[in-house]
Amino acid sequence: MRIGELARRAATTPRALRYYEARGLLATRRDASGYRSYDESDLLILRQIRTLQDCGFELEEIRPFVDCLRAGHPSGDSCASSAEVYRRKLGELDELIGQLQGVRGWVAGQLAKTEAAVPNPPRCEFTPPLAHGCDRSAESTPTPGEDDARH
């Protein structure tokens, strides 16, 4: 298949495919006419690349998965080098989760302080007690001529 068809089937662009080729993740083959030529194994590699990118993996982290597929394995994560990348990424994610939990705790503390300082937030006098927000669109605005009737 040619580059356009592969890009369409992999839900990407020909430009992205050329980039992956330049980075050595996608093999460059040419047909007799000089056009890039791909097969189903390239589609499998692209799907692996796209899946891992969608999960936040960098291209260099993806390389072991591509190498695993090229070596004839049924999936890119069935090699020891891929498992090592997963271990490393899991550690990074755990660290990020810990940082986010710390930030969340700080924000929750700030919110608690703010709510304690303002126990009864102001309420709009024009809204019913159970309404949320201050929607003044329900107020009557005088239409031309109506203003005269009020006076």
The DSSP annotation for 134-148 comes to: --GGGS--PPTTHHH
Domain of residue 8, residue span = 3-117
136 domain residue, yes or no: no
**Is 64 among the domain residues?**
yes
Q: Can you give the pLDDT at residue 117?
A: 86
User: Has residue 11 been placed in a domain?
Assistant: yes
Look at residue 83 and tell me if it is in a domain. yes
**Residue 142 domain flag:** no
Judge whether 22 lies within some domain: yes
Q: Are 43 and 69 in contact (CB under 8 A)?
A: no
Residue 148 forms part of a structural domain: no
Return the CATH number at 19.
1.10.1660.10
pTM here is 0.69
If one counts the domains in the chain, the total is 1
Nearest to 15 by CA among 40, 36, 39: 36
Cα separation, 52 vs 61, in Å, equals 9
If you ran DSSP here, which 8-state letter would residue 30 be given?
Answer: B
CA distances from 106 to 93, 95, 111, 112, 130 (A): 20, 17, 9, 10, 30
Which residue, chain included where needed, has tokens 């498992």? 83
Summarised one tens digit per residue, pLDDT across range 64-84 is: 999 999 999 999 999 999 999
Q: Which residues of the chain have pLDDT under 70?
A: 119, 121-124, 127-151
